[in-house]
Amino acid sequence: MVAAWDCIRERFGAYSLVLPGTPSFICQPNLCTAHCCHAFSVNMGEAEASRMARETGMALVQFLELEEGDPITLPLAQPFLLAREGGHCRFLGPELGCTIYAGRPNACRLYPHFVIFLDTATGKVTTPPPEDGRRAVDALLAGQSSSPVPLLLGHVECPGFIGDPLPEASWRTLLEATYQLQYEEL
């Protein structure tokens, strides 16, 4: 994994490779500037928007970006955008916490982690078909090599990477959970 990361590290300057032994993540609300809520627009799919409506009791028009009263739909697999106002997520509270935490979108559930795949033959980041991605993650978790190589990354702007060294079992659980949320719960 380290060799794969070294191939692309420069292109992913805002991220670091998360391996067993790296500091674990512990949310630091007293140090957090809510960089993620200010810097990123969050897109989501229909199933995710439905879950958010169910969890929050809100109608879609109350939490999605609108154009002429209708949700904006982008030509993407996840066509909706979470509403923003004042230069940040609409649901960022005054104490920099999420006001809809239980119903938050998957992108917010993932943060500050995500999984990318590196094709070792080309040295490029790839999005493998679901069955190839699953096979690569399963191989890595079984201690086998594969291509593409799944890499678990953490966003360096987040101040929460200050915990104890991540034990291998916890790293495996984190990789699996992050992969599932990012690729299998679309």
What digits encode the pLDDT tens for the residues 90-115? Answer: 999 988 888 988 888 988 888 999 99
Torsion over CA: 78, 82, 87, 88 (sign): negative
User: DSSP state, 86?
Assistant: T
Whole-number Å distance between alpha carbons of 44 and 82: 7
Quote the distance between the C-alpha of residue 166 and its chain's center.
18
| 29-61 pLDDT tens trace | 778 888 888 888 898 888 889 989 998 999 999
Domain residue ranges of the chain, discontinuous segments joined by +: 2-29+110-184, 35-104
Rg (C-alpha) for the chain, rounded Å, is: 18
The reply to whether the predicted model has a pTM over 0.85 is no
